Structure 1
Amino acid sequence: MRIAYFDCHSGISGDMTLAALLDAGASLKSVQEVVHSMGLPEVSIRSEAATRKGFRGQHLVIEHPKEHAHRNLLDILALIRRATMSKNAAEIAHRLFERLARVEAKVHGTTIDQVYFHEVGAIDSIVDMVGVAVAWDELDIQKAVASPVPTGSGTVKISHGVVPLPAPATAELLRDIPIAPCGLPFEMTTPTGAVLLAELVSEYGPIPAMQVNRIGYGAGSREVPDRPNLLRILIGHAIPTRPASEDMDMVWVLETNLDDVSGERIGFAIEAAWRTGALDVFTTPIQMKKQRPGVMLTVLCRREDRQALESELFRHTGTLGIRVRKQARLVLPRASIGVGTPWGLVRGKVSKLPTGEVDFSPEYDDCCWIAKERCIRLQDVVEEVSRCYRAEESLQHEYPLPPEQQELPADSSLPSIASPTHPAASLNLELQQAAMEDQDRSATDRDTFYRWDSAPWPRDEDRDLP
């Protein structure tokens, strides 16, 4: 998705926005052609290099004969219909002026058809908003995010007299938009800038996850005391992110420091923690007061197991205190599978990395049992199981049908990773179905023995080689 971020540190106006979009790569010639096709008399548009507080940017200059006409919404929409521009750009321009007309009607207590634009109906404001619509469409921006916007303080003189900042129409347009504090005695956000935010921006906050490939700077018409008077627009592609609930897992961390407990007692406490439902248990060597060597015992657990594990730690370590905190952890999507090997089916886990790559890890207990029974190296077992996994994984490329139409061969008796849905979440369901089919088979068929649930496997002394 093409995304734009408005960095409104120095406010926003129509001319600053158009200048920033031109600086980011939009075509000035395209804007000029559209404006000329609207029938506006002798309008000249150019973009000039400018510096504000030592930083470069582009400043928009619009020249046209003086006029005293006040246009209403129908007049401006007629100009837009006359222009030769894309349908999308025309719709954007139409929405901008229609929103502005609704706001003006509200603040003046009248109807849309009775609203006459004064400052915004002038040629330069029409060029600003129509030009932004053309540049927006040309840059193919699909979503916009903005920072909080400063409005300035003090007063400003408009056709209706002197009014406080933000001006009434500007304040109405900024409803539900976060405003940044700013004590500068200038109009930092104009009605045209406010309507652009209200109509084009869907979110407000810090820069979103995106890959920036264009940056444009639009310079305001004046220097301000404490900041460069520039509007920065970053344009790029949004980086896809999954909702936090899909990635993050909340756990409780229990920690205690031990310096007068034997290694045997610590080992026993660790075993008790595993039995009580700990997700992970580990120790860290530490140096405690009076230079005594000690051990920090750490337990990770679910909320529902926290109290039971605290009790076990107090009971078996003799500690006087346990540090407790809630911790988020990032968990990769993963599933348990079975892999066919020369020694029978071996359990393992597949996980999906953020890059989309799939990783496989054989089950240690299975590999250890095979290594003991066959009197071979554990490393050789792990390498052979991994090789068998890769071999079965490659079979998925032989299916010519799309994944949702693929089926395993009718004589398939393993929860094979060649399943077209591997490593999708439906894998466990396939294993369950295969397990139920095996109930009708002979109990001596050891080649098809596997477990799809989390129940313990047979002890080593109860297991037979296939």
Structure 2
Amino acid sequence: MRTLYFDCFSGISGDMVIGALIDAGADPFQMEEELKKLNIAEEYTLSWEKVVKNGIASTKFDVILSRKPERLHEHIHSHEYHHEHSHSNDHSYDHEQSHILDHNEHSHSNSYSHEHHDHHDHRTYKQIVEIINEANFNASVKNMSLAIFKKIGEAEGHIHGLPLEKVHFHEVGAVDSIIDIIGAAILINQLGVQSVLSSAIPTGSGHIHIDHGIYPVPAPATLEILKGVPIAASDIRSELATPTGAAIAAVLAESFCPLPTMTVESIGYGAGTKTFKNHPNVLRIIIGEMQ
């Protein structure tokens, strides 16, 4: 059985998943064409490139929004974080770090960052479901995408005390997160994966700063998404697991276990935005045959 294993030794995020899948041999150009079925192609462009993280060659995937957001004051920043972006030396926020912001808030970022959001990018759960249903993806891609969005929507609704149909996404409704979730489903389907397994998920430690105050890591929505999933302790003072990354693993992984007995066929490393002094911030995926 063709199996994909998420080796999340440095956590997991949506852009790291796509970077790792591309690095393992998936075709990003085919994904780019498939994503045009969403009819939002004018809102973004995609980029991917090889970078080196603490000695490991990996693929960094980015969504570049067509509309440049206003450069408003920073809502999230912690001295614990070490940010890196391959295109700029400006301050940059790790993808999805602002997932628990109110939908009227903005993150401050450089013009290339994967974390861009403005008020035009907010979409309700219902709107996202409609976009996916109208896109004419194959059943596998459609069902994976809808299940991941539902997992996040239910978690956000629980945290904010709202029923699913009333959930108005800020972070997850932004274009880059829509691309990450559906793009991951497209690439996993493209690779002919029949089963998904994962390691335990390290969530990091420390705190994140938002307008509502100081929140612990893992953030509330991320922890809610990871109910029933084994999480791993980590001394790294940063947010390692984002809501989208957590939801991809929580929905797709049939079990959480050490690396299983398998014949390895391909390996991919997806680069995260942050850089740590003694720790390569990459997601490793291993694809192979299990008996």
Asked if the contact 2:43/2:175 (under 8 Å) is kept, the reply is no
Deviations 1:39-95 (A, max 9, x none): 212311121101110110000021112431321111111221232422210111011
* Greater mean deviation of Cα atoms: 119-128 or 155-164: 155-164
Q: Aligned runs of 1:70-85 on 2, under 5 Å?
A: 70-85=122-137
1:284-339 alpha-carbon deviations (Å, 9 max, x no partner): xxxxxxxxxxxxxxxxxxxxxxxxxxxxxxxxxxxxxxxxxxxxxxxxxxxxxxxx
Residues 221 and 243, structure 2, Cα contact 8 Å, conserved in 1: yes
Deviation of the 1:195 alpha carbon: 0.3
Relative to 1, partners in 2 of residues 1:192 and 1:158: Cα closer, same or farther, differing over 3 Å? farther
How far 1:156 moved relative to its partner? Answer: 1.7
Q: Show the counterpart of 1:20.
A: 20
Q: How many residues align?
A: 239
Question: In the alignment, which residue of structure 1 is the partner of 2:290?
Answer: 238
Q: Secondary structure at the match of 2:48?
A: strand
Deviation at 1:137, TM superposition (A): 0.8
Do the aligned residues in 2 keep the contact of 1:36 with 1:43 (CA within 8 Å)? no
Asked if 1:223 is matched to 2:263, the reply is no
Please point out which of 204, 225, 230 is paired with 1:173: 225
**Of the two structures, which has the highest relative contact order with CA contacts closer than 8 Å and spacing of 6 or more?**
2
1:418 maps to none
2: CA distance between counterparts of 1:224 and 1:31? 30
Kept after mapping to 2: 8 A contact 1:152/1:182: yes
Q: Provide the C-alpha distance between the structure 1 equivalents of 2:44 and 2:136, rounded to a whole number of angstroms.
A: 16
Structure 2 distance, partners of 1:191, 1:225, is 24
Q: 1:205 Cα deviation (Å)?
A: 1.7
Q: Mark the runs of 5 or more structure 1 residues left unpaired by the alignment.
A: 240-466
Question: How many angstroms does 1:162 deviate by?
Answer: 3.5
- CA distance in structure 2 between the partners assigned to 1:160 and 1:112 by the alignment: 22
Task: Give how far 1:9 is off.
Answer: 0.5
Paired with 1:59 and 1:84, the residues of 2 have a C-alpha distance of 28
Q: Partners of 2:243 and 2:228 in 1: how far apart?
A: 15
Query: Tell me, which stretches of 5 or more residues in structure 2 are unaligned?
Result: 70-117
Structure 1 CA distance, aligned partners of 2:38 and 2:29?
Answer: 14
Look up the match of 2:148: 96
Partner residue in 2 for 1:105: 157
- Once the two structures are superposed, the pairs formed by residues 174-323 of structure 1 within 5 Å of their partners are 174-239=226-291
Q: In structure 1, what residue type is equivalent to 2:61? A: L
The residue number in structure 2 matching 1:461 is: none
Correspondence for 2:119 among 56, 68, 92: 68
Indicate if the aligned counterparts of 1:209 and 1:238 stay in contact, CA closer than 8 A: yes
Structure 1 residue runs of 4 or more that deviate by more than 3 Å after TM superposition: 157-162
- Cα RMSD of the aligned pairs, angstroms, is 1.4
Corresponding residue for residue 38 of structure 1:
38
What does residue 120 of structure 1 align with?
Answer: 172
2:26 partner letter: A
Q: Does 1:156 align with 2:208?
A: yes
Name the structure where helix makes up a greater proportion of residues: 1
Q: Which has the larger radius of gyration?
A: 1
Task: Please state which structure has a larger fraction of its residues in strand.
Answer: 1
Mapped to 1, the partners of 2:197 and 2:184 lie a distance apart of 16
SS at match of 2:25: coil
Per-residue deviation at 1:37? 2.2
- CA deviations over 1:216-237 (Å, ceiling 9, x no partner): 1100012112210110000011
Q: How does 1:327-406 map to 2 (within 5 A)?
A: none
Q: Supply the AA of the counterpart residue of 1:76.
A: I
Task: Kindly provide the amino acid, as one letter, of the partner of residue 164 in structure 1.
Answer: P
What TM-score do the two structures reach when normalised by structure 1? 0.50
Matching residue's letter, 1:134:
I
Equivalents in 1 of 2:194, 2:238: separation in Å? 32
Asked if the contact 1:34–1:83 (Cα under 8 Å) also holds between the matched residues in 2, the reply is no
Alignment TM-score, normalising by the size of structure 2: 0.79
